[in-house]
């Protein structure tokens, strides 16, 4: 993704986050204001209820006294007794509720004095009424007018206090409504910011995901192309190694044939001359001994030259269809004595549905036997494990011989198939050369993977019987 686009995305998310943070801060601030104003409104309700209660208690006390004056029944004084007590409690509560409002102090003082005066008049009325024998005198009647004026003043002050508190409560309700409106607006703005952020995130994600998918597709295409090229290079390198091996083997064969030709002619002459000398010097015992020595060495050299020629020349093969797994089992049977003598464990991993191959059975078993014998000699007695594996790869049959022996170093691997090269004390160095000759005569290949101290793996690749694989019957060569 382009760097400028990344920067824009980061700034977009940062701005959205800051706006949400600010909106949430404002919401919390307004909520605290709402709580405060709600408390003030509730406080105004308490004051209004308290004023109404004071008014009701005084009215009840006055009504109780009138009933007592009319009926002379002391039960009518019950509202007076409770009201005279409750009104003082309510008045103290009112003073506490309005302690933060200095403007109401004068009116509250007047209200308190009027309440005390009215309650005192009611108490005096009861006492006089009782002392006068429950008779309403002129004095009692004259005091009613002053009591009525006091009550009117009390009601007037209470109404004024209620009006002022109602105005204050209306103002607080108005603030409360404005806070509610502000909260709603901020909540809507926060929701819009969240929706815009989500929408922006979806667009950004889709854009980045599309660019990522495109990059992944391009990378996959490049990876497949690179893999194809690597496979082509590996195939070309494998073919080149096979060609070099064939060329090296052919050159070795030419040299071997040249040496054999040059060596055999003098050896023939030496042999003939030795036989003639043996006839001439038959009476001399020491001469016979020397001539026998010459004859044995000539035969030995001839044998070595023959082995070299057999190991390096292209032979005429007799091809017959064969199952590679069965050929391996037959070869193991040939090497059974060596395997049992050295207590070698054999593990076989054969592919069951492997198609037949066209080979010269005896020669291919000889090639396998040379490799198995070398593996047995490279492993320690009693702890060796020889693994045989057959697989079908790229239309060819692959046979792997793996041992856990001493392994082969890099320098020795380059000379492994050369004639007379051997890492064994008594080896003649022609076994693997002969095996390579047989494999190459079958248009196959032989390779080795080995590390010193980690064992070796010989890999032989042979062509499958394509006619048999395609359902065409092959008539075996007889």
Whether the per-residue pLDDT at 359 is higher than 70: the answer is: yes
Confidence at residue 39, expressed as pLDDT on a 0 to 100 scale:
78
Write out pLDDT tens, residues 177-204.
787 787 788 778 777 877 787 777 778 7
Count the Cβ atoms, other than its own, within 10 Å of residue 176. 18
Burial level of 3, CB count in 10 A (0-12/13-18/19+)? exposed
Burial level of 98, CB count in 10 A (0-12/13-18/19+)? buried
Reported confidence tier of residue 238, pLDDT bands at 50, 70, 90: low
Q: Using DSSP bridges, classify how beta strands 385-393 and 345-349 pair: parallel, antiparallel or unpaired.
A: parallel
Confidence at residue 473, expressed as pLDDT on a 0 to 100 scale:
38
CA distance 475 to 33: 105
CA distance 444 to 399: 11
Confidence at residue 347, expressed as pLDDT on a 0 to 100 scale:
93
Backbone angles phi, psi at 460, to 5 degrees: -110, 130
Whether the per-residue pLDDT at 443 is higher than 70: the answer is: yes
**Mean pLDDT lowest among 26-35, 75-84, 365-374, 460-469:** 460-469
CB 128 within 8 A of CB 144: no
And the tokens for 5?
Answer: 């686009």
Reported confidence tier of residue 265, pLDDT bands at 50, 70, 90: low
And the tokens for 407?
Answer: 């392994």
Whether the per-residue pLDDT at 47 is higher than 70: the answer is: yes
Q: 3-class DSSP state for residue 214?
A: helix
What residues contact 45, with CB distance under 8 A and at least 6 apart? 169
Give how far Cα 152 sits from Cα of 58, 60, 77, 163, 227, Å: 11, 15, 22, 16, 108
- As a dihedral over the C-alpha atoms of residue 104, residue 110, residue 114, residue 116, rounded to 10 degrees, the angle is 90
Which alpha helices (DSSP H) does 350-395 contain, by range? Answer: 361-378
Per-residue pLDDT, averaged over 149-157, amounts to 86
Whether the per-residue pLDDT at 54 is higher than 60: the answer is: yes
Reported confidence tier of residue 355, pLDDT bands at 50, 70, 90: low
Count the Cβ atoms, other than its own, within 10 Å of residue 405. 22
Whether the per-residue pLDDT at 427 is higher than 70: the answer is: no
Whether the per-residue pLDDT at 11 is higher than 60: the answer is: yes
Reported confidence tier of residue 467, pLDDT bands at 50, 70, 90: very low
CB 380 within 8 A of CB 339: no
Whether the per-residue pLDDT at 262 is higher than 60: the answer is: no
CA distance 79 to 83: 6
Per-residue pLDDT, averaged over 291-295, amounts to 65
DSSP notation for 82-124: HHHHHHHHHHHHHHHHTTT-GGGHHHHHHHHHHHHHHHHHHHH
Per-residue pLDDT, averaged over 272-296, amounts to 62
Confidence at residue 100, expressed as pLDDT on a 0 to 100 scale:
79
CB 412 within 8 A of CB 471: no
CA distance 225 to 227: 5
Residues above pLDDT 90, as percent of the chain: 8
Write out pLDDT tens, residues 360-416.
888 898 889 989 998 998 898 888 999 999 998 877 889 999 999 888 887 777 777
How far is residue 298 CA from its own chain's centroid?
A: 75
Confidence at residue 423, expressed as pLDDT on a 0 to 100 scale:
61
Of 85, 57, 42, 46, the C-alpha closest to 155 is 57
Confidence at residue 457, expressed as pLDDT on a 0 to 100 scale:
93
CA distance 368 to 397: 14
Whether the per-residue pLDDT at 471 is higher than 50: the answer is: no
Confidence at residue 107, expressed as pLDDT on a 0 to 100 scale:
83
Max mean pLDDT range (201-205, 245-249, 267-271, 375-379):
375-379
CB 90 within 8 A of CB 53: yes
Write out pLDDT tens, residues 116-137.
888 888 888 888 888 877 777 7
Give how far Cα 71 sits from Cα of 59, 67, 76, 136, 410, Å: 18, 6, 8, 12, 136
CB 348 within 8 A of CB 390: no
Max mean pLDDT range (143-147, 193-197, 454-458):
454-458
Give how far Cα 304 sits from Cα of 311, 370, 421, Å: 10, 18, 14
**Mean pLDDT lowest among 66-70, 383-387, 446-450, 468-472:** 468-472
Measure CA of the first residue to CA of the last residue in the chain; give whole Å.
Answer: 72
Reported confidence tier of residue 346, pLDDT bands at 50, 70, 90: very high
Residue whose structure tokens are 């060329």: 247
CB 194 within 8 A of CB 20: yes
Confidence at residue 208, expressed as pLDDT on a 0 to 100 scale:
73
Count the Cβ atoms, other than its own, within 10 Å of residue 23. 20
What residues contact 444, with CB distance under 8 A and at least 6 apart? 460, 461, 462, 463
CB 475 within 8 A of CB 318: no
| Between 297 and 433, the higher pLDDT residue | 433
Radius of gyration of the chain (CA): 61
CA distance 244 to 475: 34
């Amino acid at each position: 993704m382009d760097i400028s686009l990344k920067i824009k995305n980061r700034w977009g998310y940062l701005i959205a986050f800051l706006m949400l943070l600010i909106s949430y801060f404002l919401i919390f601030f307004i909520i605290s204001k709402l709580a405060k104003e709600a408390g003030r409104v509730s406080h105004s309700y308490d004051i209004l209820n308290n004023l109404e209660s004071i008014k009701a208690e005084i009215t009840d006390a006055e009504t109780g006294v009138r009933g007592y004056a009319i009926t002379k029944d002391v039960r009518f004084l019950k509202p007076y007794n409770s009201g005279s007590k409750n009104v003082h409690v309510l008045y103290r509560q009112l003073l506490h509720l309005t302690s933060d409002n200095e403007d109401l102090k004068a009116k509250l003082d007047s209200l308190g004095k009027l309440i005390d005066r009215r309650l005192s008049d009611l108490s005096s009325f009861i006492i006089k009424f009782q002392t006068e024998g429950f008779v309403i005198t002129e004095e009692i009647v004259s005091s009613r007018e002053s009591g009525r004026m006091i009550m009117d003043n009390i009601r007037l002050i209470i109404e004024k206090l209620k009006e002022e508190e109602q105005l204050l409560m209306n103002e607080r309700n108005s603030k409360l409504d404005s806070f509610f409106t502000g909260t709603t607006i901020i909540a809507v703005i926060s929701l819009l910011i969240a929706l815009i952020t989500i929408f922006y995130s979806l667009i950004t994600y889709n854009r980045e995901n599309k660019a990522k998918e495109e990059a992944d597709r391009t990378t996959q295409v490049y990876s497949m192309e690179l893999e194809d090229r690597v496979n082509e290079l590996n195939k070309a390198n494998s073919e080149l190694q096979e060609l070099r091996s064939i060329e090296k083997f052919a050159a070795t064969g030419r040299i071997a044939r040249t040496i054999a030709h040059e060596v055999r002619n003098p050896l023939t002459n030496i042999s003939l001359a030795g036989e003639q000398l043996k006839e001439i010097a038959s009476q001399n015992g020491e001469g016979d001994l020397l001539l026998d020595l010459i004859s044995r060495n000539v035969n030995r050299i001839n044998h070595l030259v023959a082995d070299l020629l057999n190991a390096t020349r292209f032979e005429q093969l007799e091809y017959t269809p064969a199952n590679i797994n069965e050929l391996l089992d037959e070869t193991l049977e040939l090497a059974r004595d060596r395997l049992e003598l050295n207590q070698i464990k054999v593990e076989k991993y054969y592919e069951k549905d492997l198609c037949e191959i066209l080979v010269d059975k005896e020669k291919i078993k000889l090639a396998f036997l040379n490799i198995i014998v070398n593996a047995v000699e490279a492993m320690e007695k009693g702890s060796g494990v020889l693994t045989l594996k057959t697989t079908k790869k790229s239309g060819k049959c692959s046979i792997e011989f793996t041992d856990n022996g001493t392994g082969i170093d890099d320098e020795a691997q380059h000379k492994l198939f050369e004639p007379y090269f051997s890492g064994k004390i008594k080896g003649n160095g022609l076994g693997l050369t002969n095996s390579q000759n047989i494999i190459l005569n079958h248009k196959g290949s032989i390779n080795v993977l080995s590390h010193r101290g980690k064992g070796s793996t010989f890999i032989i690749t042979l062509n499958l019987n394509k006619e048999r694989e395609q359902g065409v019957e092959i008539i075996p060569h007889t």
